[in-house]
A and B are shown apart, each in its own frame.
Chain A
Amino acid sequence: MERDKNFILGVYEDEDVLLDAISKVRGNGVKIHEVYSPFPVHGIDDVLGYKRSKLPIAAFLFGLLGTILALTMQFYMMKIDWPMIIGGKDHAAVPDFVPVTFELTVLLAAFGMVGVFMIASNLKPWGQPRIFDIRITDDKHVMAIDLAVNSSMAESQLTDVLKNSGASEVNFKSFE
């Protein structure tokens, strides 16, 4: 059986039942493909075993780039390219460079991080998501299990695991 094509889906009504179910299902040796929710469920990355996002590092690096660019630009323009005495101060009046440096740091950190987020999560205007269950943007949580990945277990076995973990429905979904 090919991977990433045929899924068994457990539908959950409640986020606390879901969190509990994820632990139970994983405890049974089942590998979960992904869980889809209508809202962010706190603590779900821990029970799914997801590592902490590296986005803060991206934000920091882009922020640093912003700081460096802003300072370089201001020193170059005010001190090197066209030095002028303004208000009797040094050409490079460093305290005056603080506001623009701060703003560009924030600007680059924010845009850089959001850009990385968009790329990492494959978000784009022409993006066509794979919808396992249309209700996951409304009121249901759906746990998707790839049948090929868990081929050591029979479908009926997986159904039982999901049912026992508190799923209100168990469905099958295949993608072309």
Chain B
Amino acid sequence: MHVTSSVREPLITGGKTLKDVTHDISRQVEAKPSMGWLLAFLFSVGVLLLGSIALVATLWEGIGMWGLNKTVGWAWDITNFVWWVGIGHAGTLISAVLLLFRQKWRMAINRAAEAMTIFAVICAAMFPVIHMGRPWLGAYWALPLPNTFGSLWVNFNSPLLWDVFAISTYFSVSLVFWYIGLIPDFATIRDRASGIRKTIYGALSFGWDGAAKTWSRYESVALILAGLATPLVLSVHTIVSFDFATSVIPGWHTTIFPPYFVAGAIFSGFAMVLTLMIVTRKVFHLEDYITIGHIELMNIVIIITGSIVGIAYITEFFMAWYSGVAAEQYAFMNRMFGPYWWAYWSMMTCNVISPQLFWFKKIRTSIAATFLLSLVVNIGMWFERFVIIVTSLHRDYLPSSWAMFYPTISDVGVYLFTFGLFFTLFFLFAKFFPVINMAEIKSIVKSTSEKVTK
């Protein structure tokens, strides 16, 4: 028999049975779209269309529509790219790393977190593609394809190319991992449905039969995918950080970047998961599955990764002073007191100070405070990338070419476009897919729900 330690809080509250789990989670897939969902969805589509104007303008006129100049050749595009990729780190971390560590609380949030990961990576990938100016030719620059330019291959010594491989692998492996988990749940919905819905969910469920043999293979697949995805998730942001770290720009040329970027990615990813899950649990009445306990655990991850990020900021500073390199020292003084001081101090406040509030139990178990701080962290992490990229570039070795970067309406518009895309995809997911992994939750109902702990 399963016995749960009385010290451990139940993961599922409300005395749920297996039937309740099926009902509570399939309910929102089967119901007619609510007015609230419809309005939110239409709003996202609106943002998407508005942003599309900027996107089309950029593609039609060229990258000159952006605020870049010959000094600051990378700005909003790559800031947004790194920001979205960072957000896309939480999902696979939750489902893969927490699976390897047998953390059962992951089961309530992994589905939505992985969906968020996939959508965030799609948004991230928009920027490198768009910034090529003529994306329809971009395949030749990004992929090792035979071509008519003299068979000149892509450069395998470049971290930018490693990024192409890292992000496309990360995206496709995350997608497969997510989909494998969805198959049994689609079968559940198929077996409750009739008519056209049964046909659609039947096709999506790939003819799942729930046999013990299939489950046994399914578990092997999940475990190995987790084992593969764990180094993968760490490699992706490591390689993104190489884009900067392998250059000789003061402020970029540091060996601390890979772990610092990975911690920052997990930090921002968890913040975005919290933002979305707090809304989702409320709208779909999932309070018994995503409990305050889940929110508190995610907040603890935020304290840890936020503190790592804080220490990384301070270490960078110390190393700039200790290295004795004048350009490096200037880059950091310029970050703090230069023309972009406001970006630097926003980053410090949002990323280093605000997550420390989670040391108070009252704050980390408060939904309103968590929601607010999760937004603050995401704003802070955007500023972190902006600070690293723009303040390092705008004043480099040659003072005669120092310049400022000002975003144009197209910069803002393309960023809006990705927001529209992200939320449109997330709302579609939330309506038509089961937002919680029913099969996994059912496997822990007996051992960790309130009923058995009595």
Contact = CB atoms under 8 A, between A and B. Distances in A.
Interface in B31-45: none
Contacts of B162: 99-100, 103
A128 to B, nearest CB: 6
A29 B184 CA distance: 31
Most-contacted residue by chain B among A16, A41, A121, A123 (CB, 10 A): A121
Interface string B29-68: 0000000000000000000000000000000000000000
Contacts of A100: 156, 161-162, 165
B117 to A, nearest CB: 15
Contacts of A27: none
Interface in A1-59: 14-16, 34-42, 44-45, 48, 50, 53, 55-56, 59
A38 B188 contact: yes
Majority secondary structure of chain B interface residues (helix, strand, loop or mixed): helix
Contact of B220 (A37, A56, A111, A139): A56
Contacts of A37: 210, 212, 215
Interface string B351-389: 000000000000000000000000000000000000000
B207 interface: yes
Interface string A116-139: 011011111111111100101111
A111 B179 CA distance: 12
Nearest to B161: A100
Contacts of A86: 155, 157
Contact of B211 (A16, A35, A107, A128): A35
Interface in A79-134: 81-82, 84, 86-87, 89, 93, 96-97, 99-100, 102-104, 106-107, 109-111, 113-114, 117-118, 120-131, 134
A50 B191 contact: no
Interface string B231-257: 110010001001000000000000000
Contacts of A44: 212, 215-216
Contact of B191 (A77, A81, A89, A138): A138
B212 A36 contact: yes
A101 to B, nearest CB: 9
B184 A110 contact: no
Interface string B149-193: 001111111010110011001001100110010011001101110
Contact of B221 (A15, A107, A113): A113
Nearest to A53: B220
Contacts, number: 191
A107 B156 contact: no
Nearest to A109: B228
A114 B22 CA distance: 26
B209 interface: yes
B19 interface: yes
A145 to B, nearest CB: 14
Interface of A: 14-16, 34-42, 44-45, 48, 50, 53, 55-56, 59, 73-74, 77-78, 81-82, 84, 86-87, 89, 93, 96-97, 99-100, 102-104, 106-107, 109-111, 113-114, 117-118, 120-131, 134, 136-139
20 contacts: A16-B2, A40-B216, A44-B215, A48-B212, A55-B221, A55-B224, A73-B144, A74-B156, A81-B151, A99-B242, A103-B162, A103-B169, A103-B235, A110-B173, A114-B221, A121-B218, A123-B183, A123-B214, A134-B191, A137-B188
